[in-house]
Structure 1
Amino acid sequence: MKANHTNQRAAWTVETLRADQTWIYVLDDRARRDLTGAVRSAHDPDKSLFDYRPGDFDLGSAWPVIAVALREIRDGTGFAVLRGLPRNDLTELEFALLTWAIGLHIGVARPQGGASQYLAPVRNAGTVYRTGKGRGYSSDSDLDFHTDSADIVLLTCYNVAKSGGMSMVCSSVTAYQVMLAERPDLAELLHLPYHFSRQQEQAPDEAPFYPNPIYDQRDGLLFSKWNRNRVRSAQQIEGVPPLSVSQQAALDTLDTILRRPSVMYDMYLRPGDMQILNNHVTLHARTEFEDHDDPALKRCLFRLWLAPPDSVALPESWRPAYRAVEPGKVRGGIIGQAHDQTRQAFEMRQASDIGMRL
């Protein structure tokens, strides 16, 4: 099954990224002042994140820059880096609120785990990654290439590690093209359904695993969904069919291609950087890191998963994971086990504020 991806810029290589760095956006001093003022004027210690609305935060001259970066991830390379968030002017709590504020202007935040949390601090909490319930964002492990469970992932950097923690990104479109050219027999197998573990974070109405192909297409666009750890974990769950030798070979080949120097772009996020990824055409990973001893200096980033109003239609095979595949719908996330009335009310209000449908 050969997909003709109409967005050719999403099929980038390391060489093309280095030659054209228009995917990097820099905020100027005025934009930083606008963001600082927006957070400080809106911050209310008696409010939860769910109490804030987009209109509470005037992002000023920063918003046009962010909007262009969003077009880049939708219509261009599939990822962007925004530099110059006012990290030095804000406390960690204020920086987290800034991340949330930007997200409120982009789409509807999606829950990210069993606790139905919407803004996840990415820091080492002692999690063991490669287990049946491990999560990479709360560990210090090196992470496999993967996609997150939402249309967009937004990651803001507050503190960096003492060493390590390098970020890597790949174009899943490029990786597929390489595999199709070199091993078309194995590329075909990636369109079969594979089973992904929910890592014991399933909602009450969900099974502990779900089927999803690694690649599928719709309307001439190629989509990917990949997470080796979750596929590996699912193999231990009753009712999941074992992978064939050929399927294993296909997954191994894909992972090998993703690590090629011509395919894998690596970078270190700096304090004040924001990385934005389109999960449907981009895969990401991270190296192991060593943290600082001082708690105030420990590696800390903030992660948001978002459903934007201008999303495209997804393949029907994405429905078990995303719950909806129609364009412009609130979809994706890990609904989790605490998706209560407060969270549901937030989603309904935010969807209405930003012009989306639940």
Structure 2
Amino acid sequence: MAQIVGGPAAWRGPEIADLPDWKIELTPAHVAELHAALAGVDRPGIGLREITKERFPLPTLGTVLAGIVDELVDGRGFLLLRGVPVEGLTERQTELMYWGIGLHVGIPIHQRGEDDLLIHVRDQGVDRNDPLVRGFQTAARLDYHADSSDVVALLCIRPAMRGGVSTIISSVAVHDEIVRRRPDLADLLHEPWWHDRRSGNGPESFFQCPIFAIEDGRLFAHYGRAYIDSAPRGEGVPELTPQQIEAMDLLDELDNSPDFPLNMNFAPGDIQFLNNYTIMHARTDYEDYPEPERKRDLIRLWLVLDRELGLPKDFVEGGIVPRTVARHGAAR
């Protein structure tokens, strides 16, 4: 039977919105370290995989980033880092700096193809109804979901002209509320569910994983309704039952109630770090500036943490790149 989890990750947005401790401002010394580290790797033809943590030294900022990992794992599960010096950098220089920051948090993994280590989240004018299109490729609203990595990091280069607000919720708080209201549906959400990676049409695009699981008193969540709704396109994947639809309806109702979300309006140089197992994120739809050089642009990193998290078995193997592969250096 599903149980209430609680703890520091069971926060509610309205209760913490005005607290300053989930934001970290970079100091001038941190900014100087970033510029110096960038100068050391900004070479023609250098590949991202050639840049290691040791080649991107951050003497004092590295300690701050290590503290972010502690907060992601044992605290609220998110942080906003502000003041990354993106102004005046080329796109390539921005990517190199961001990559270096990411190396001090975790191990980057690819997100679609082998070379997709950094993904630009911007409107590509594609059909959002195509089952192989991913939400980050459109300007449409994104429903609450978790990505396929331990941590997702988003660096803002330019915000949209209107909209594009990032909203996050505590999966732990929502889970606990479902246990209180409908323990029968909470139990169902702890059973195996089919998910669609949208990586193609073959069997590798589909996997089973509970939406919620508890291991050693910790909650782990993996949810994205669009990717569950499309899973029956896979051979041998059954249609959703009325009870499963009811469970997701309740989950979505709570996600979108005013009791849980925390909104973030990104500014250039902001990096949002989220623990995918305890945080779900969404985005409002947005409208871009007409000039191409002013269009909304965020860069996404998927990171695996180089520490044991006590994940349930299905979560260990459920991502785009299994954690065991990433931690043995395949995506370093």
Tell me the TM-score normalised to structure 1 length.
0.87
Q: Is the 8 A contact 2:13 2:260 kept in 1?
A: yes
**SS class of match (1:8):** coil
Give how far 1:67 is off: 2.1
- Name the SS for the 2:309 alignment partner: coil
Q: Which runs of 5+ in 1 are unaligned?
A: 333-343, 351-358
1:255-308 CA-partner distances (Å, limit 9, x unpaired): 110011110111111100000000000000111111112221111111111111
Please report how far the alpha carbon of residue 238 of structure 1 lies from its aligned counterpart in structure 2 after TM superposition.
2.8
1:282 aligned partner, one-letter code: I
Map of 2:184 onto structure 1: 185
1:253 paired residue among 250, 253, 256: 250
Is the contact between residue 155 and residue 275 of structure 1 (CA under 8 Å) also seen in structure 2?
Answer: yes
Give the counterpart letter for 2:59 in structure 1: G
Does structure 1 retain, via aligned residues, the 8 Å contact 2:109–2:321?
A: no
Asked if 1:282 is matched to 2:279, the reply is yes
State the partner residue of 1:76.
75
Q: Is the CA contact 1:127–1:134 (under 8 Å) kept in the aligned structure 2? A: yes
Partner letter of residue 283 of structure 1? M
DSSP 3-state at the match of 2:204: coil
Decide which moves more: 220-229 or 64-73.
64-73
Q: CA deviation at 1:149?
A: 0.2
1:279 partner letter: N
Instruction: Give the equivalent residue in structure 2 for 1:100.
Output: 99
Q: Alignment partner of 2:318: what SS?
A: helix
Deviation readout 1:218-258 (Å, 9 max, x if unpaired)? 11111100011111111233311111111100001101100
Deviation of 1:317 (Å): 2.5
Q: Distance in 2 between matches of 1:15 and 1:221?
A: 23
1:55-105: CA deviation from partner (whole Å, max 9, x where unpaired): 211223322222222211111100000011012242222111111111222
Alpha-carbon spacing, 1:312–1:324, altered in 2? closer, same or farther (3 Å) = farther
**Is the CA contact (8 Å cut-off) linking 2:142 and 2:285 kept in structure 1?**
yes
User: Between Structure 1 and Structure 2, how many residues are aligned?
Assistant: 332
Q: By how many angstroms is 1:115 displaced?
A: 5.2
- Distance, in Å, in 2 between the alignment partners of 1:349 and 1:224 is 24
Match of 1:341 in 2: none
One-letter amino acid of the counterpart of residue 209, structure 1: F
Question: What runs of 5+ residues in structure 2 fail to find an aligned partner?
Answer: none
Establish whether residue 271 from structure 1 lines up as the match of residue 268 from structure 2. Answer: yes
Instruction: Summarize the Cα distance change of 1:149–1:57 in structure 2 as closer, same or farther, 3 Å threshold.
Output: same
d(CA) in 2 for partners of 1:95, 1:225: 30
Q: In the alignment, residue 2 of structure 2 is paired with which amino acid? A: K
Matched residue type, 2:300: R
| Counterparts of 1:40 and 1:320, CA distance in 2 | 37
SS at match of 2:8: helix
Which letter maps to 1:163?
Answer: R
Which residue identity is paired with 2:41? A
Is residue 86 of structure 1 aligned with residue 82 of structure 2? no
Taking the aligned partners of 1:233 and 1:31, their CA distance within structure 2 comes to 44
Partner SS, residue 216 of structure 1: strand
What residue number does 1:213 align with?
A: 210
In structure 1, what is the Cα distance between the partners aligned to 2:236 and 2:79? 39
* Superposition RMSD in Å: 2.2
**Selected match of 1:307 from 296, 304, 312:** 304
Q: Report deviation, 1:320.
A: 4.3
Query: In structure 2, what is the Cα distance between the partners aligned to 1:325 and 1:234?
Result: 20
Check whether the contact 1:38–1:59 (CA below 8 A) recurs between aligned residues.
yes
